[in-house]
A and B are shown apart, each in its own frame.
Chain A
Amino acid sequence: MNPSLDAAGKTVSAAVTTPVPAPAPRLVRKHPLAIRWLHWVNFPVLFLMIWSGLLIYWANDDYRIGWGGRTLFQFFPDKFYERFHIGFRLAEGMNWHFAFAWVFTLTGVAYALYVWLSGEWRLLVPRRESFAGAFQVVLHDLGLRKKPLPRDKFNHAQRIAYSSVIVLGALQVVTGLAIYKPAQLAWLAALMGGYQLARVWHFVITLLFVAFFLVHVAQVARAGWNNFRAMITGYEIQK
């Protein structure tokens, strides 16, 4: 046995060790008030934009995944429109869409400004290692990577996802403006490749938003109550 001395000068046996108590769970401030409000306002507003957008799209529902005579998927099957009572509401859809476009844009600008001015962007913007890092996140979430992920506020996949949605939001406003005023903003529509292509981009970005939403909600569900609560209270318990 190799006796050593503790701080009081008493001999401590190296073979018998006192179990170190686990650190106490502590309350950590996570999401600022502005982030929480903007997050929860944007959720129904985005829903309204997509919903009213569907009412508009129905009037000329041309898009499909396919080539030539072969269609893999039609956006959208008749049953989809019937189930959600989407048909014959073009005027209603346009009116909701053009009124709430302001709210969506202002919320997005407010969020981008806050993230920038508060310095939170340092935690959200992807870094050089984020693409490799995001791949590790996917492996980890699929159970293929056993090592825990680095303890950052947002992991690399989140950095990419949460930064991408701001870009998507901005692109949606830009493509929307090109569709909305293709004569007054003819130069903008031209940048998109013309009126019909601007509509295609607008639709594609909507699909990406929906994809983001599905993954986001699934991940939030996986992350548990403590994490979700933090987006309402602003605090998270960290063990």
Chain B
Amino acid sequence: MSTKEPEEPLNAEARIRQLSRRSFLWAGLAAGAAGGGLFAFNKYAPNEDGTKTLFRRALGANEWVAHRLFPPRNLAPEFPRSAAVKPVNNYHGETPLVDLDAWRLTLDGVESGKHAVTLADIQALPHVEQTTELKCIEGWSAVVNWTGARFADFAAKYPPRPGARYVSLLSEPADYPDERYYVGLDIESALHPQTLLAWAMNGQPLSPEHGAPLRLVIPVKYGIKNIKLITGIAYAAQRPADYWAEQGYDWYAGL
């Protein structure tokens, strides 16, 4: 510090210049670190399935927290039938047209071994009607009335092999290779009481635009998991692939 006593009016100015040096140094270092860190992160941090690995960890951590905080069987809100609307068809490409009579569901990872299931087999299960809000990950939503069988009842009829922790649902319509679509679910969400294998929307059998003859309705997940025109279901011990998860979206997509 200075050895001479500065005059009173200069003291404050001199003092603050001293203090400022240190503070601005810290400020500069912090701003530089933040800016540099952001730049380096964007440029060099590794990616995993269309997004930064760090974000995959963050999404996983969020799901871990959600799982600990909420009972996984919390119900999504249900609405009166009169509130139902016709949702927007969100097929990105072509709407697949399939021969409904020839349609079969290929089931794999089950105790009875890989085999095909018909729509009649599924419709033999108890019918459930449910009016829930479909929430597209883009942001819009629609209250829709669905009729189908609980996935839980389906899994009870065709039990998965022990060790199954995930379900993979596939839509692979013949003649439409570009429309191949697949989702992965944690088995808890698949077995959630509101998860349906649905064949009717607003009282009418599904149209091709909405996934005829069978689609998944899972109101505790974003619309991306509500796969249309299911052609295959497989239980798995490892987390299966998911179309939009590979494009950077959260694999869990839970609401």
A residues with a Cβ closer than 8 A to B are 24-27, 40, 44, 56-57, 59-60, 62, 90-92, 94-96, 98-99, 181-186, 189-190, 195-196, 199, 229, 232-235, 237
Cβ-defined contact, B140 with A182, below 8 A:
no
- Encoded as 1 (CB less than 8 Å from any A CB) or 0, chain B from 210 to 249 comes to 0000000001100000000000000000000000100111
Determine if B187 is an interface residue (Cβ-Cβ < 8 Å). no
Determine if B70 is an interface residue (Cβ-Cβ < 8 Å). yes
The complex places the Cα of A99 from the Cα of B141 at a distance, in Å, of 24
The complex places the Cα of A160 from the Cα of B70 at a distance, in Å, of 36
The complex places the Cα of A233 from the Cα of B11 at a distance, in Å, of 16
Which of B19, B77, B248, B249 contacts A190 (CB under 8 A)? B77
Closest-by-CB residue of A relative to B35 is A44
Cβ-defined contact, B20 with A90, below 8 A:
no
- A residues within 8 A CB of B141? 195-196
Cβ-defined contact, A181 with B76, below 8 A:
no
- A residues within 8 A CB of B52? 95
- A residues within 8 A CB of B140? 60, 62
Cβ-defined contact, A232 with B139, below 8 A:
no
Tell me the chain B residues, 137-154 only, with Cβ under 8 Å from chain A.
Answer: 137-141
Q: A60-B138, A99-B58 are in contact. Are A183 and B12 (CB under 8 A)?
A: no
Count chain A CB atoms within 10 A of each CB in B138, B219, B244 and give the residue with the most. Answer: B138
Cβ-defined contact, A24 with B12, below 8 A:
yes
The complex places the Cα of A61 from the Cα of B66 at a distance, in Å, of 28
Query: 8 nearest interchain CB pairs?
Result: A60-B139, A91-B248, A183-B76, A95-B55, A99-B58, A59-B138, A184-B70, A183-B255
Q: Which of B22-30, B102-110, B113-121, B163-171 contacts A (4 or more CB under 8 A)?
A: B22-30
Cβ-defined contact, B138 with A90, below 8 A:
yes
Which of B12, B58, B137 contacts A95 (CB under 8 A)? B58
Cβ-defined contact, B23 with A234, below 8 A:
yes
Determine if B62 is an interface residue (Cβ-Cβ < 8 Å). yes
Cβ-defined contact, A182 with B76, below 8 A:
yes
The complex places the Cα of A233 from the Cα of B24 at a distance, in Å, of 7
Chain B: interface size category: 35 or more
Cβ-defined contact, B16 with A183, below 8 A:
no
Which of A56, A91, A182 contacts B139 (CB under 8 A)? A56
Contacts across chains A and B counted by CB atoms under 8 Å: 111
- Encoded as 1 (CB less than 8 Å from any A CB) or 0, chain B from 49 to 64 comes to 0111011001100100
Closest-by-CB residue of A relative to B72 is A184
Cβ-defined contact, A184 with B255, below 8 A:
yes
- B residues within 8 A CB of A57? 139
Q: A182-B76, A182-B77, A195-B141 are in contact. List 5 more A-B contacts (CB 8 A).
A: A91-B51, A95-B51, A98-B62, A181-B255, A183-B219
Cβ-defined contact, B16 with A229, below 8 A:
yes
Determine if B97 is an interface residue (Cβ-Cβ < 8 Å). no
- Encoded as 1 (CB less than 8 Å from any A CB) or 0, chain B from 4 to 35 comes to 00001101110110011001100100100010
Q: A25-B13, A40-B27 are in contact. Are A195 and B133 (CB under 8 A)?
A: yes
Closest-by-CB residue of B relative to A48 is B38
| 19 pairs, CB–CB < 8 Å, chain A vs chain B | A24-B11, A25-B13, A40-B30, A60-B136, A62-B139, A62-B140, A94-B250, A98-B250, A181-B254, A181-B255, A183-B74, A183-B220, A185-B70, A189-B77, A232-B20, A232-B23, A233-B16, A235-B16, A237-B13
What is the distance, in angstroms, from A90's C-beta to the closest C-beta of chain B? 7
- A residues within 8 A CB of B13? 25, 237
- A residues within 8 A CB of B20? 229, 232-233
Cβ-defined contact, B76 with A59, below 8 A:
no
Which of A181, A234, A235 contacts B66 (CB under 8 A)? A181
The complex places the Cα of A36 from the Cα of B99 at a distance, in Å, of 67
What is the distance, in angstroms, from B208's C-beta to the closest C-beta of chain A? 24
- A residues within 8 A CB of B161? none
- B residues within 8 A CB of A59? 137-139
Q: A195-B133, A195-B135, A229-B16 are in contact. Are A94 and B75 (CB under 8 A)?
A: no
